[in-house]
Amino acid sequence: MSYAISQIMPSFQRPPSRVAIRRAQAYSADLASLIQETVCELGLEVRHKSVLLKPNFVEPDPAGIVNTNPAVVGAAREAFLRLGASGVLVGEGPGHERDTEGIVETIRLRDHIGKLAGKFVDLNLDDVELVPLRTRASKLRELYFPRTVVTADVVVSMPKLKTHHWVGATLSLKNMFGIVPGSCYGWPKNTLHWAGISQSVLDINSTVRPDFAIVDGIVGMEGNGPVQGEAKHCGVLVMGSDPVAVDATCVRIMGLAPERIDYLAKAAAVLGHIDERQVPQIAENINSVRTPFQVLPSFEKLRASQPGI
């Protein structure tokens, strides 16, 4: 489905969006302090607020390369509690695996956040609210969203740095597919695919825009992602309050051009920045951590033609 962004909302206008690239060579590093320091530097206020961490838990993952690593999730939870959050929940609604509890047990999430009761919410089975969508990119006009998501003061998208066999790359915006409840839309949530992946990404994120993003790029996935690719060590966490800018930065680290990824190009008009001049980096710069990812042949066209693009 083709459409003109200008017919959806006025052109996006806001100040430049800072994005932090922090080196973290292993999951055993002091990630909580790294995240806490970065959240403070970027000015995200969480004191006395409820925080929802939305990782990307797709399926049982013995190799540890498909899902957001639970060490990053546990570190983020600890960081936000240190910063005075009134509560921090972890919530996910996998798209094609019905047994969410089985996934979190297999990846040993409890080793990093303790007992799951009162700390983890299966968004596929949560109580829901019908919410009108703020954009009209797809044919969808409203969606049911989990009450845990709708009522959270701060929503943090926590994806894995991965390629994707349908859209090129899956990061903090695409990760928000997991808030659409399977109890309403089934598995694998084909409603979103029928409406168009790029269009649905825009509609979901315009309505429930993440307040912050933390991308697990310590070990990512290249090739036939998001579940059948190969491990790719990048040794970074990428963080920021503009999920579009965060995703554009991640794509550049992967050696790809964000303006060539359909949903990112669309999101740049209404949700955030992808223009590198509007995305100043703090800590590391892109060139110092760029790690070109392998992509499927059909996505070679997404590769950046020049450094810095």
Checking if the pLDDT of 137 tops 70, the result is: yes
Is the Cβ–Cβ distance between 231 and 205 less than 8 Å?
Answer: no
Residue 184 structure tokens = 């309403």
Calculate mean pLDDT across residues 76-98: 96
Beta bridge partners of 212: 156
Which pLDDT belongs to residue 10?
38
- Tens-place pLDDT, residues 216-248: 999 999 999 999 999 999 999 999 999 999 999
Which pLDDT belongs to residue 306?
52
- Tens-place pLDDT, residues 139-197: 999 999 999 999 999 999 999 999 999 999 999 999 999 999 999 999 999 899 899 99
The radius of gyration of the chain's CA atoms, rounded to the nearest angstrom, is: 18
CA distance 83 to 86: 9
In the chain, what is the straight-line distance between the N-terminal and C-terminal CA atoms, in Å?
A: 27
Is the Cβ–Cβ distance between 37 and 76 less than 8 Å?
Answer: no
Q: Which amino acid is at 11?
A: S
E-strand stretches of the chain: 19-23, 50-55, 87-92, 120-122, 128-132, 142-146, 154-158, 160-164, 168-170, 212-222, 230-240, 281-283
User: Domains plus CATH for the chain?
Assistant: 16-302 (3.40.50)
Residue 126 structure tokens = 């949560």
Is the Cβ–Cβ distance between 132 and 142 less than 8 Å?
Answer: yes
Among candidate residues 27, 53, 94, the one with its CA nearest the CA of residue 231: 27
Checking if the pLDDT of 11 tops 90, the result is: no
pTM score: 0.94
Checking if the pLDDT of 93 tops 90, the result is: yes
Residue 225 structure tokens = 């992602």
Among candidate residues 70, 80, 89, the one with its CA nearest the CA of residue 35: 80
Checking if the pLDDT of 4 tops 70, the result is: no
- Tens-place pLDDT, residues 258-276: 999 999 999 998 899 999 9
Q: How many CA atoms lie within 13 A of 140 on its CB side?
A: 30
Which pLDDT belongs to residue 214?
99
Calculate mean pLDDT across residues 52-58: 98
Is the Cβ–Cβ distance between 31 and 72 less than 8 Å?
Answer: yes
Percent of the chain with pLDDT over 70: 95
- What is the number of other CB atoms lying within 10 angstroms of the CB of residue 7? 7
